[in-house]
Amino acid sequence: MNVAALFTTFGVVFLAELPDKTAIASLVLGTKYRPMWVFSGVAAAFTVHVVLAVAAGSVLSLIPERPLQAIVAGLFLLGAVLMLRSHGKEEGEEEVEEAPELGTGAGFGKVAGTAFGVIMVAEFGDLTQIVTANLAAKYGDPLAVGIGAVLGLWAVGGIAIIGGRGLLKVLPLHLIVRVAAAVMVVLAAVSLGQAIAG
């Protein structure tokens, strides 16, 4: 297993997911319902998304090396631009989506199922899913990328559920977005360099 791929994937996915709408949705659900119940649904949905992304990245890895690196570089640049555009609001202007009302007597199945459904819908085709597919194609190690992505997404979900509002007081959202976009630009440059060098 490529440990560098695992840690790189964890870092990139973690930074990309922090300012995402699914982190906000997890935060809202975590303030209304039992955190472990919410996390169970969130973690399951993230796992499904990573499996789909790694499978897509494995298909991309069948492309010859130089064109693949050029495609990966372009997708990382696109991801950086999309991140900056979709999160270009200044701190405090983010819209927090309200969690669906489940009623006060909602049990584990209902809470976890709702969390799973919210994340499945919100995360499908999301930036972190695209980034995970790119990393799987780049490194050719689906297991390392998959573990790194799952751990990164679970970490963000857990942080959002347990103490998201406190984190945003310490680290401004616009700073997190800029750091994540910068990391993607660096990865794009590395991939482009590899495509040129052959």
pLDDT averaged over the chain? 78
Split the chain (198 residues) into runs of 10 and give each run's mean pLDDT: 93 85 74 85 94 86 75 73 59 43 68 86 77 88 95 92 66 69 77 79
Count the Cβ atoms, other than its own, within 10 Å of residue 13.
29
Exposed/middle/buried for residue 46 (C-beta within 10 Å: 0-12, 13-18, 19+): buried
Note the Cα 36 to chain centre separation in Å.
Answer: 20
Domain ranges of the chain: 3-197
Which pLDDT does position 146 carry in this prediction? 95
